[in-house]
Homo-oligomer: A and B are copies of this chain.
Amino acid sequence: MAELNDDFQKRFRTALEENDETEIKSMLLSLHYADLADLLERQSPDKRVELIEIIRGELNPGMLAELDDTILEQLAAQVTTDEMASALALLDTDDAVDVVEELPEAEQKVVLEKLPRDNRLLIEESLSFPADSAGRLMQPRVVSMPLRTSVGEAIDNLRNRHDLPSDFFDIFLVDLENMPVGSVPLGRVMSSQRHIKLENIMLKDMKLVPVTMDQEDVAFIFRQRDLTSAPVVNSHGQLIGVITIDDIVDVIHEEHEEDIMRLAGVGEEDDLYDAVVKTTMSRFSWLLLHLICAMTAAYVISLFQVQIEQLVVLAVLMPVVATMGGAASVQALTVSVRGIAMKEVNPSNTIRTIGKEAMVGLLNGLIFALMISIISWFWFGSVALGIVIAMAIMINLFVAGLSGSALPILLQKMGYDPAVASSAFLTSITDIVGFYVFLGLGAIVLL
């Protein structure tokens, strides 16, 4: 198998330049499916169409599950439903579901009908669960055995089964009603004597995952408990599937991606491969929100037009107060949003968390108040001006710490995502407070 290293990429560029289709095809097919997906993603859209055309007859199923959503849609539009179906038939159910759920609804139906009956039924069952739920992530082909099975019987049973998933790490033990009672890691099975009963070496402190549980909560359980697989149960508590860690790694990435993107006001769908117009649209609403906030801040300034006219240095220094408040509030916000995501913030320490951030804001406020007042005293030669900006900075950094930590917690309590729109609102708060306090104090003290 070829490595996607610098040498490969150089040879590949040469093959592309020379338009050597045989060489291009053999190079593409020599790659690991994950590397092939990466290589396709990096091409320009036109080049990508050409490359897909070259390999469409031998579509690598593994690659489909690895492709970015945007690119998968393009590929689906280019290949026939027959080509898609024959690739999907070779995937494990959970990976096939990942691919199918990205297809347009009409195409989903056609492709599913072309799959072998067994695969189709399993995929359709998975798709019947809500998006982003455990049901979508799980592999319905689960390796389970009755409680009384011995190590020897387990091994014999596995040797005779033909429907094993390609990856499994545990044998789940179930009672007569098919409810899971324990799990045995394969390493334990293999290192135990044949006559030993699995129930004597099973782990009992399993976390059962309800099939409707949100994938974010599933990921939290996996991370917290260092799990490699977890049993999925239906509403009667019966074992209907298993979720493995490889799918969870993808979920963890998705959720982090969401957090970081939302903090910056970038839509979740916004990735490098989207087209310019689509990206422009997805960024628009965030910028609109900022416009509304900025206009509110401008209104606050407009209340002090007379004072600014009299003392134009107020206009020079007012953005400093706003900028410092904005930077401090984003710091508090980020820590708070991460704390919520990691379930470190909870009712028992909410007050302490907010109190700490307010204190940090106040302390830094004191330090920077001192620095800025000295700078502006030297710059404009006015002690009074230094005092005014010092007070404004101190108040604004205190407000920044307080609101930066409290707002996401409040949003979370009200059932909203704490990361969405928080930073726009916060910057708005620190802008308004900053301008109002600085210009207001300036008007009182200096004029």
Contact = CB atoms under 8 A, between A and B. Distances in A.
Interface of A: 1, 9, 32, 34-35, 38, 41-44, 66, 154-155, 158-159, 161, 164, 167-169, 185-187, 189-193, 204-205, 222-228, 245-246, 248-250, 252-253, 256-257, 259-261, 263-266, 270-272, 276-277, 279-280, 283-284, 286-287, 290-291, 293-295, 297-298, 301-302, 305, 308-309, 312-313, 315-320, 322-324, 327-328, 330-331, 333-335, 338-339, 343-346, 348-349, 352-353, 356, 359-360, 363-364, 367-368, 371-372, 375, 424, 427, 431, 435
A364 B41 CA distance: 26
Contacts of A66: 224
A261 B334 contact: yes
A308 B259 CA distance: 41
Contacts of A287: 324, 327-328, 331, 364, 368
Contact of A158 (B161, B185, B190): B190
Given A228-B245, A276-B356, A187 B161 contact: no
22 contacts: A1-B204, A42-B348, A44-B352, A154-B190, A161-B191, A167-B187, A169-B186, A226-B246, A260-B263, A263-B263, A264-B335, A265-B330, A271-B335, A271-B344, A272-B345, A287-B364, A291-B320, A298-B319, A305-B312, A305-B316, A308-B308, A319-B319
A287 to B, nearest CB: 6
Nearest to A352: B44
Contacts of A256: 252, 256, 260
Contact of A322 (B204, B222, B283, B319): B319
Contact of A309 (B309, B318, B324): B309
Contact of A294 (B266, B298, B323): B323
B344 A316 contact: no
Contacts of A264: 263, 330-331, 333-335
B308 A312 contact: yes
A260 to B, nearest CB: 5
Contacts of A349: 42, 44, 272
A385 to B, nearest CB: 12
| 10 residue pairs, one from A and one from B, having the closest CB atoms | A264-B334, A315-B315, A186-B186, A294-B323, A290-B327, A256-B256, A294-B320, A226-B246, A158-B191, A280-B363
